[in-house]
Structure 1
Amino acid sequence: MHVAGLASALGVKVCALGMEAKFLRDFPLAEHAAELGKLRHCETHDIFQRLGVLTPQRVHLKNHPLANPLTVFNAALDHGSNGDMLVLYPRIIIGYFKYASAIAEVELPLEDLYTGSISISHYPAEIIVYPSTSVDIWGSEDPRVTRIDGTRHMVYVGRTINYFEAHIRRERTLPVLAVEAGRHRWVKVGYFVLPERLRPHVISDKDAFLVQASNGDLLLFHRPHMDDENFYLTISIVPHDEYKRALEEAERGEPVPIRVRGTRTILPVAPFEEKLGWASPPVMVERDTFLTLVHAVDVRLKRYRIFAMLVRYDRDVGPRPIAVTPRYIMEPRAMYEVYGDRPFTVFPCGAVRHGDRLIISYGAADSVVGFAEAGIDDIMAELDHLRLE
């Protein structure tokens, strides 16, 4: 069905992110964003098979006096040094007074996901990133891991020094970049910021990861929350000189600001949603065409649900969405997703490709790490319903 005809048939209303969103001049809608945003509807076809969960009682900290964290969730994921292993980077919490998070590293056999061992086995863990600077002193949260020139790069949410200052609604969280520098060793190199004139209007910036295009360009997927009370699902360009400067100054002290530019809004929220956020980092399905997941918080129950998107990039046009799934492809349904510290939550932070399958790691109700998989062909089939290129 033609896109315009499909919109009419579905009776979809105009997207909620409209004239009241004053920063659309600064974060203009990418090509296709408006069209695709109008065509999504509030239904779910859950195509992810649950593989099991990792609970905090089975994660054993090697470099902290406490044997186990109280909570593990919102975990990044990457392939290990060989094809038989995965490396998990869960967000952990050891106390609830300030809910200050750290990030651990856990190695686990890929086989454990398919034998059911992931739900019963015990794993050693090393804390690798923890609060230590002015941009993450109240917590290091929700990591996403990608590879830039073959080296693991982690972007996580830093709760800044402003986080608990009620009178300061500026940059309460920022995306912080850490780079792997050896076994269990990560160096915090910088934190991403918008242009100086916009920084006073940033309440928080979350759900971020760094992606490298085939021509070497660096793209920051992130979600600024501005003082117009809108959440913008955006992609920005990371200038190479800013990135290299941060790497060069990394060993000298605190992370340095990395100024992004060319920010585009990739998709507006639908009328039945409160906000959107980037979920797991993408896998490349074609040259400079990225398959990524997006989480959405619905207006009624505040539950998190997941849909997929194809994002294409070239330097002349910039990043743009070329397809979205018209319906959600995952929502909370298992008990450990429905009930926990944050009910009705599935929050993917990690994704790896394993043959023709996409394996994801996600926070389930902010209490455990869940694992699930879906066929890439199945996801692409859903995307074909709303594909413009």
Structure 2
Amino acid sequence: MENTIIGRLRELAVNFINVHKGFRRSIAEPIFKRITLIMPSDVNVTNYPRKPVEVFNPAAVLNNDTLLIFPRIIFDYLNYVSSIGLIELSIRDVVNGRVNKPVNARLIMWPRELWEFRGCEDPRIIKHGDEYLILYTGWGYYYSGGELRPRAVQALAVMDNEFNVVRRGFFTIKAANGESYVPDWWKDSAFIEVKGNKVSMLIRPNIGGLEIGWSGEANLSELTLNMDSMRPVLWFEDFEFKVGWSTNAVKLSSNEYLVGWHGVSRSDYSYRNGLALVNSDGELLAISNYLLEPTGIEEEYGDRPRVIFGDGLIIHEDSLIWIGGVSDYAIGVYTVELDKALSKLTWLKG
């Protein structure tokens, strides 16, 4: 049953960590340059009367010449309930550092279900055909033993071209014998390749207290992840508490995808970020050390200090652009030459 699934997956994770630990080093090579900082006071929400206190951890999609930014937005500190908004900016203005402020945003998602009652958090988004597929954390409740218990689920929302929610739900891990399991803490996932109802994914469920990166294949119709397809691919080092996927995956070639990842430091509890290269099945091909870390008072001091986190990664011309959250209160846009970023990857094989 549930304990059997946890036991099998945890054994896989422990063996994987023991084999790979020591490959990365605790060093940072800060190659990204920040070109824009968007504060909560810079954001005007047009379809809701309250003023945001936090606008952070955004997903991003480049749609022709328009950069679509999907931030996590919070309006109060009492219950800290998150929604997801949409900001539309000219990519030229962004890369040239000429974003006119304030910027307009509108809410496109907010809690509607019990399992997301406490918030819709930290989206990663891809455009697929005429739809947008949004992976996000549903922070809410479930019933167990007649009581409400908190849980963070890996949720999916499907939106049409006008950003209307067509469908929403959350993933379940399913074994071949029909057993299923929903981790109490499942965040930080990204789609790799979508083929019909099948999708390869990068995931980060908490398995028996271990938070590492996995790959797996999911069924979008059933919202199930095939347990037998799950493989650990991203490990934490001795200098980290945990690791996770930070961004969406960007296609580089027919079978290479670039994705951001983060590690949480044991020495100062900061979130630092690197890049990884995976194939269409989620196999890790190459990985960097840290390439992006919080620097200076604006990035180091916030509602959660010393964080740059997720969630958007795009390629524009010859540049790699990272659109991320800054210390749980603001949005930072960072850029680097794509070739320079790729040169920092170390291949696992060959």
1:53 matched to 2:34: no
Residue 70 of structure 1 is matched in structure 2 by 53
Q: Secondary structure at the match of 2:323?
A: strand
**How many angstroms apart in 1 are the aligned matches of 2:285 and 2:261?**
14
Partner of 2:347: 386
Structure 1 residues 150 and 235, CA, compared in 2 at 3 Å: closer, same or farther?
farther
In structure 1, the partner of 2:189 is 208
Kept after mapping to 1: 8 A contact 2:153/2:184? no
**1:292 equivalent in alignment to 2:259:** yes
Question: How big is each residue's C-alpha offset from its partner over 1:362-387, in whole Å with a ceiling of 9 and x where there is no partner?
Answer: 0000010000011221121111x334
Query: In structure 2, what is the Cα distance between the partners aligned to 1:266 and 1:211?
Result: 14
Q: How big is each residue's C-alpha offset from its partner over 1:20-58, in whole Å with a ceiling of 9 and x where there is no partner? A: xx7464674699987654310100101101111111112
Could you state the TM-score of these two structures normalised by the residue count of structure 2?
A: 0.89
Tell me by how many angstroms 1:225 deviates.
1.2
What secondary structure does 1:203 align onto? Answer: coil
- Partner of 1:57: helix, strand, or coil? helix
Count of residue pairs the alignment pairs up: 339
1:358 aligns with 2:325: no
Q: Name the counterpart of 1:123.
A: 103
Q: Which residue of structure 2 aligns with residue 6 of structure 1? A: none
Change (3 A) 1:24 1:300: farther
State the alpha-carbon separation in 1 of the partners of residues 274 and 95 from structure 2.
24
Relative to total residues, which structure has the larger strand share, 1 or 2?
2
Instruction: Kindly provide the amino acid, as one letter, of the partner of residue 68 in structure 2.
Output: V
2:171 to 183, 189, 192: 192
2:332 is the alignment partner of 1:370: yes
- Cα distance, 1:180–1:27 mapped onto 2, change above 3 Å: farther
The residue number in structure 2 matching 1:183 is 162
> Which residue does the alignment assign to 2:287?
324
Cα RMSD after superposing both structures: 2.7
Kept in 2, the 8 Å contact 1:154–1:209? The answer is no
- Quote the Cα distance in structure 1 between the aligned partners of 2:257 and 2:8: 24
CA 1:35–1:309 in structure 2 vs 1: closer, same or farther (change >3 Å)?
Answer: farther
Gaps of 5+ in 1: 1-21, 246-257
Runs of 4+ in structure 1 off by over 3 angstroms are 22-37, 167-170, 213-217
Distance 2:287 2:8 in 1: 21
Matched with 2:225 is 260
Shift of 1:288: 2.2
Q: Alpha-carbon deviations, 1:336-388, whole Å to 9, x = none? A: 210000110000200111012111110000010000011221121111x3341
2: distance between equivalents of 1:24 and 1:301? 32
Give 1:95's aligned residue: 76
* CA-CA distance at 1:97 after TM superposition: 0.9
Deviations 1:300-323 (A, max 9, x none): 21100011111113xxxx431111
Gaps of at least 5 residues in structure 2 are 1-5
Question: Is this contact kept in 2: 1:30–1:321, CA < 8 A?
Answer: no
Q: Secondary structure of 1:219's partner?
A: strand
Distance 2:81 2:308 in 1: 21
CA drift at 1:151: 2.6
Q: Check the 8 A contact 1:148/1:211 in 2, yes or no.
A: no
Determine the structure 2 residue equivalent to 1:281. Answer: 248
Distance in 2 of aligned mates of 1:282 and 1:31: 26
Give the structure 1 partner of residue 3 of structure 2: none
Could you tell me how far 1:114 is from its partner in structure 2? 2.9
Alignment CA distance shift 1:27-1:379 (3 Å) = farther
CA contact (8 A) 2:108 2:163 kept: yes
Indicate how the Cα distance of structure 1 residues 87 and 42 shifts in structure 2: closer, same or farther if over 3 A, else same.
same
Structure 1-normalised TM-score? 0.80
